[in-house]
Amino acid sequence: MFTGDEFADGGDAIREALKKHQAKASFFLTGRFYRNPAFRPLIQSLKKDGHYLGAHSDKHLLYCDWQKRDSLLVTQPQFAEDLQRNYQRMAEFGIHKKDAPYFLPPYEWYNRTVTDWTEQEGLQLVNFSPGTRSAADYTWPEMGNRYVSSETILKSILAYEAKDRNGLNGFLLLLHIGTDPRRQDKFYHRLDELLTQLEQKGYRLVRIDELLEK
């Protein structure tokens, strides 16, 4: 699954890789992403291709403190209004709550209260499966020790698959549809390579709703 807010530079490359492998993915995009005129053709193409398009908050808010997770930084009305605006933007593309009941919170950072608020909105909160470095594909070299190269990311995914007794069955792998220009080593250029290796191992990529409803 892919998240998107400010950047969409990997959109076309990701679409082509998924199409080549006849794979379906899930895209969790912010309201800011949906209302960006430059991204509109890409969103329409992703929908036409049959991928899942979901919500990732309107303005990519940080819901709770990084150091003290139980300390909320938003109120429930702020959370609800922001989420509603996200779905309003999605509705412009013909995507409604019934079509996109799974919600991936911004920064993938939340607590039990946010989970409850999400349920009260009639949605199911989801998050990525831990164990690989895939979520670090947004980092760039100037971030120092936090930077993770695409080669390291690819190796971490394949290493996890090899060591876990379930492999990547049911795994929710998080990547980004676009990244800061300061990152030149774009992981989406390795997506075709990753999908080829997973196909050889017998995996089939499906939308999050198909996976979870099974």
Number of domains forming the structure of the chain: 1
Through-space distance between the first and last CA atoms of the chain, rounded to whole angstroms? 17
Phi-psi region of 175 (alpha: psi -120 to 50; beta: other; left: phi over 0): beta
Of 86, 96, 109, the residue nearest 31 (C-alpha): 86
Mean pLDDT of the chain: 97
Compute φ and ψ for 184, nearest 5 degrees: -90, -25
pTM above 0.75, yes or no: yes
CB 1, CB 104: distance < 8 Å: yes
Q: Is 106 helix (H, G, I), strand (E, B) or coil?
A: helix
Query: In the prediction, which pLDDT does 205 show?
Result: 95
Q: Domain containing 53: what range?
A: 2-213
CB 26, CB 2: distance < 8 Å: yes
Compute φ and ψ for 203, nearest 5 degrees: -80, 150
CATH of the domain at 171: 3.20.20.370
- What is the Cα 135 distance to its own chain's centre? 9
Q: Alpha-carbon distance 78 to 101, whole Å?
A: 20
Q: Which segments in the chain show pLDDT lower than 70? A: none
Query: In the prediction, which pLDDT does 214 show?
Result: 73
Overall residue count recorded for the chain in this entry: 214
Query: In the prediction, which pLDDT does 65 show?
Result: 95
Query: In the prediction, which pLDDT does 141 show?
Result: 96
pLDDT in tens, 53-95: 999 999 999 999 999 999 999 999 999 999 999 999 999 999 9
